[in-house]
Amino acid sequence: MKIGVLALQGAVAEHIRSLEAAGAEAVAIKWPQQLEDVQGLVIPGGESTTIGKLMRKYDFIKAIQQFSEQGKPIFGTCAGLIVLATQIEGNQGPEEPHLALMDMKVRRNAFGRQRESFEADLSVKGIHEPIRAVFIRAPLIDQVGSHVDVICETNGEMVTARQGHLLACSFHPELTDDIRLHQYFVDMVRESMQQQG
Amino acid sequence: METGTARVKRGMAEMQKGGVIMDVMNAEQAKVAEAAGATAVMALERVPSDIRAAGGVARMADPTIVEEVMKVVSIPVMAKARIGHFVEAKVLESLGVDYLDESEVLTPADEVFHIDKHDFTVPFVCGAKDLGEALRRIGEGAAMLRTKGEPGTGNIVEAVRHMRLINSQIRKVQNLSKDELYAEAKNLGVSYELLLNVHQHGKLPVVNFAAGGIATPADAALMMHLGADGVFVGSGIFKSDNPEKFARAIVEATTHYTDYKLIAEVSKNLGTPMKGIEISKLAPSERMSDRGW
């Protein structure tokens, strides 16, 4: 199993390390053609405006949408969650939304500025013990469509969601040594490979 | 729920990796930088080359400028405080700035003590020209480093020197035996624990960007090749003929720093980059990289 990490900007190496620790082969994706060689894709944390712009510049939008149409799993963290959403709250730029794959409305920098960034222990549906979640100028999910399953909340706010083969969280599992959320995604990729035979 | 932890501070810098942080002097420039794909902006009253030209004492920017910039962009906003001037730093933190730069570009306020950066919720980036400086700043709480380079010169030579030196010192520390680390910690003037961490991991425990003298897309790509996690561009962008195009070109060259055809493409017709200064023509008192210890 090979999983790609979109490597336009952001915490790429950390995701590769976590995916490898979860038993997958991981590779940095710099060009859309490389998507043909991977069965799953991680869109990492970074700056969503920068990643969004570079995705457009190098024709990643269509390519990733097609990747998703084939039922191949995608996992977005922080900026990756913003990039996956169908709607971005507030001053939505002219080039937004980006991939518009997950039926949810998200709010960037929802907790405030960097001084409000925090870490906390959170329970995730499908994972036994709480995980340490690191929120950095993090976005929140304000609304979700009926077929989106919210699997983690903090103080009543939605921070992790799954829509079939798509997974998104507003924190950074790649910044800790806890690989259980990556393991969860690797399992999603394995299931999708089995389904596709 | 904990704020201001080392993980939250260092993690913020991790999210900047592979990106370009641009100096801006007003809201208009901040918008140009964001539209070009900057991962953060550094709000300043004057860019380093203007500080050089103006002479005199360079201080923290007027809070109006910082606030204006914060209002118009959604990317993080950084600002500079003078070395040792913890009140400037507290003032900037109170404005809600996302990252503080304790910077040698401004005139130092203290020639002995740097700011105790553990005492802040907001993370700090600091300049370093060798491993000793780098680890001393981390010891004081810096969550991100950058080369000092020689700011405002448009000359990459000092940034290259600093990045290469830090890398070779790290390799040396990796090859020392554990019992030799105590003496090396004394030589470098750093804590044994931090040096042990470098010995074990073969890298700095925080993100390290290139800064000081980056003037072209190829300069940015060169620094990425030398192991920089990303780049700061100061005077280079808004002192060039076509800042918008220039900023986009630097962003692309940083992302695809091994793709020379692409760098050639984005380097076409960029106009004149900033003029630049030969380092040997600078009087010792004009060298910003010698500020701090």
ipTM: 0.95
CB A169 within 8 A of CB A176: no
Question: What backbone torsions phi and psi does residue B161 show, to the nearest 5 degrees?
Answer: -60, -45
- Judge: A54–B40 Cβ closer than 8 Å, yes or no: no
Range of the domain at A166: 2-195
Are the C-beta atoms of B68 and B97 separated by less than 8 Å?
no
Cα angle A137-A98-B15, degrees, rounded to a multiple of 5: 30
Whether residue A97 has a cis bond before it, omega within 30° of 0: yes
Burial of A8 (0-12, 13-18, 19+ CB in 10 A): buried
- Which pLDDT score is estimated for B53? 86
- Amino acid identity of residue B147, one-letter, is T
- How would residue A176 be classed by pLDDT, with cut points 50, 70 and 90? very high
Instruction: Please calculate the CA angle A189-A194-A196 and round it to the nearest 5 degrees.
Output: 95
Contacts of B204 in chain A (CB under 8 A): none
Residue A132: closest C-alpha in chain B: B1
Distance between CA atoms of residues B101 and B122, nearest Å: 11
Q: What is the pTM of this model?
A: 0.96
Domain count, chain A: 1
Q: Is the confidence at residue A21, as pLDDT, over 70? A: yes
User: What local confidence, expressed as pLDDT, does residue B192 receive?
Assistant: 97
The sheet carrying B20-24 orders its strands as: B207-209, B144-147, B124-128, B99-103, B77-82, B40-43, B20-24, B231-233
Give per-residue pLDDT as tens, B87-139: 999 999 999 999 999 999 999 999 999 999 999 999 999 999 999 999 999 99
Residue B41 pLDDT class (50, 70, 90 cuts): very high
Residue B131: predicted pLDDT: 98
Residue B84 amino acid letter: G
Say what the pLDDT of residue A196 is.
Answer: 82
Give the strands of the sheet with A118-122, arranged side by side.
A131-135, A118-122, B2-3
What's the farthest any 2 CA atoms get from each other in chain A?
48
Which site among B74, B93, B229 would you substitute to test the A interface, given the most A Cβ atoms closer than 10 Å to its Cβ?
B74
- Say what the pLDDT of residue B2 is: 94
Strands B20-24 and B231-233: parallel
Specify the higher pLDDT residue, A74 or A196: A74
Scan residues 79-138 of A and list those with Cβ closer than 8 Å to B. Answer: 79, 91, 108-109, 112-120, 134-137
CA B36, CA B244: separation in Å to the nearest integer? 7
Chain B: residue whose CA lies nearest to A108: B74
B137 with B145: CB under 8 angstroms?
yes
Report the run of H or E that residue A76 belongs to, with start and end.
strand A74-77
CATH classification of the domain holding A33: 3.40.50.880
Chain A residues within 8 A of B100 when measuring between CB atoms: none
3-class secondary structure, B42? strand
Tokens 């090859």 found at = B175
Chain A contacts in chain B segment 232-251 (CB below 8 A): 251
Mean pLDDT along residues B201-205: 97
Residue A174 bears catalytic tag? yes
Dmax over Cα atoms in chain B, in whole Å? 55
What is the average pLDDT across B267-291? 86
pLDDT tens per residue across span B57-77: 999 999 999 999 999 999 999
- Residue B231 CA to residue B130 CA, distance in Å, equals 17
| A106, two tokens | 């998200």
Predicted confidence (pLDDT) per residue in A87-121, tens digit:
998 766 677 899 999 999 999 999 999 999 999 99
Establish if A176 touches chain B: CB-CB under 8 angstroms.
Answer: yes
Strands A118-122 and A140-144: unpaired
